[in-house]
Structure 1
Amino acid sequence: MEGLDATETYTVRDMKLAEEGALRVDWARARMPVLAKLKEEAERTKPLAGMRVAGCLHVTKETAVLVEAIGAAGAEISWSGCNPLSTQDSVAAYLAREGYSVHAWHGQSNEDFYWCIDRTLEFKP
């Protein structure tokens, strides 16, 4: 897709935004202590090991903390946004940089929105 950074596992606006996304996610993570505790436990027990989890939620710094917790629990993840106007491009780039499959960018057309959901479903969760 023209004007986007894309591989087989991600499609985002601009991977150069990943560091900004990391700062945003760090900020959110520091304010989500309950999820941090759950992640800590999940890292030890791996309750989702071998599972494939797909999500279609707002791609925001808070959702990224949730994605990290699911990943820490052992799951493979594919994610897309549920609202073309709520995706934070820097956060999508951060998730892609961290190795998560993510197909989302701010301002998607209707066609792009459903294309991203299709990519997430092709992951076969």
Structure 2
Amino acid sequence: MNPSKLNKRIILERKSSETKDEEGNAIPSEWKEFVKVWAEAKTPFGTGFRSEIFQGNAEFVIKLINFTIRYRKGINSAMRARYDGKLYEIKSVIDIDEQHKEMCLICEERSNWQN
């Protein structure tokens, strides 16, 4: 890993545990910051893969991005990444060469179609 390529700051977030109020009603969990890390951000195929999908009457655009970070325990696909003002759903976490030195977060950004 070339440390100079880890030049993007990302925030990894996870959902907080569901809690209950005084009356025993469930309080929905919220996204909370887990850790800030330095990453290399790469879009597949150079400019980024973009896919348009239809769901019901809505059209969405999916953009893929991969973040390479130093290995860290506890990161999983139930988390999301925040980078450059955008949210990315972590689809897969790969321990590169299973060396526990670096990992790749395969992420996608979903957004409503805009012209």
TM bracket (short chain): under 0.3
Work out which structure has the larger RCO, using CA pairs closer than 8 Å and 6 or more positions apart in sequence: 1
Q: What is the TM-score of this pair, normalised by structure 1?
A: 0.22
Greater Cα radius of gyration, structure 1 or 2: 2
